[in-house]
Amino acid sequence: MNFISILMGSKSDYEIMKHCADTFEKFNVKYELVVSSAHRSPERTKIYIKEAEEKGAVAFIAAAGMAAHLAGAVAASTTKPVIGVPMKGGAMDGMDAMLSTVQMPAGMPVGTVALGRSGAVNAAYLAMQILAITDKELSTKLKEDRIVQAKKVESDSKDVEVIL
Residues forming the annotated binding site for substrate?
A: 10, 13, 40
Task: Indicate the annotated binding residues.
Answer: 10, 13, 40
| Phi, then psi, of 89 in degrees rounded to 5 | 125, 180
CB burial readout 81-107, b (16+ within 10 A) else e: bbbbbbbbbeeeebebbbebbeebeee
